[in-house]
Structure 1
Amino acid sequence: GIGRLSDHAWVRVPVGAIVEFFRAIPVLILMIFASQIYAKFTTVSSDFRPLYAVVTGLVLYNASVIAEVVRAGVLSLPRGQSDAAVALGMRKGQSMLYVLLPQAVTVMLPALVSQLVVIVKDTALGGAVLGFGELLSQNRQITANYGANTIATFTVIALVYIALNAVITNLASRLEKRLRQGRKTSAVKENSPAETTETPAGAVSGA
């Protein structure tokens, strides 16, 4: 995401091409393609191949989406922030690291949490297609051992997903609130006038 904001075309163009390429491909296709790559060109065991394929697909797709979130978060800041950093003599890398990114984190946090929820749900694709042993795939074992309670099993699995994503969203909301409060507190301290303890010239101190 930072690379897409570079002033150098030799950095900006290749990075942009990679991000747009992996954003355009469905994550399920990336998982299947990665599975074939691991099967034909690597020595990864068949027991671990579904895990590798799922992780690879999720990383390639979601990293490209998060890169766009980072870029959009930085661009959403007022231009005066970067201008002020330049006026202080900071290079672009320093202004990005010390001025823009810390402020953009609060802006990006809701989108990042939404993407994290998507990642949790997309793991089900690996279980349904590649046989990856995640939560949804446990439906096969449960129905095989305890009868054809398919609806009840899927209901419990759905409730587990809902509870997990609710916890993630709640934690992120608390973190965002804390970051905003911390920023407001620091801003108030910086803008508060300094206390003066000067004694007037004509005042006489005594008991």
Structure 2
Amino acid sequence: MTRAVILDAAIAFIDTHGLDKLTMRRLGATCGVEAMALYRHVHSRGDLLTGIVDHVLDQLYTDQLAARRQEDGWQDYLLRLAHGVRQIALNHPQVFPLVATAAPEAPWVRPPLRSLRWMESFLDTLICYGFTDNAAVTAYRTYTSFLVGQLLQEVSAAGAELHPDEAILDEADPTTPVLDLRDYPHLQRLEPALSEDHSTAEFEEMLEAILDRLELLVARR
């Protein structure tokens, strides 16, 4: 019994029965052990749910990082990443709302790329392709907003419950100690910009982009 085995079993359980049915007792039964045996590897239900999110995204991180090639361009990177995140949503529609609503490792981190390692990789990739700091931050905000909104609609249509789980949202405590960002130079430099709230402007820009696209469709008739 390892933490990875428990997390895989929990994901399979949620896929089959839904998040609301997941308890430590039921997960223990699925793994063939008493619930108390799980606590050697997961400290609480909140730790279990956080582990599920990290487990899913860590595999995506590994796959996308291995496939990243400088000669492919930033468009290819963003396309592959979007399809990778969407595949998670399609493969695990009951799990994805947890991924999309999980408390981030820092208050200014946006899902679905909730981990600092993920954000650093995303920003580093775009900056390596010539994006300025401001352009990389804007791209991150726009890109993640699109992914979350679109994919939550898809999994909702597939029957997934979209309400967040209190056990994992409790981790978004404002009293949480400030994280050490020394291993994440882009995040350390760009934290002020990433912390700014531009929700209204972003909404208007995305709305304008949709209207522009619809105008092109009408013009083609």
The TM-score with structure 2 as length reference comes to: 0.27
Richer in helix (by share): 1
TM-score, normalization by structure 1: 0.29
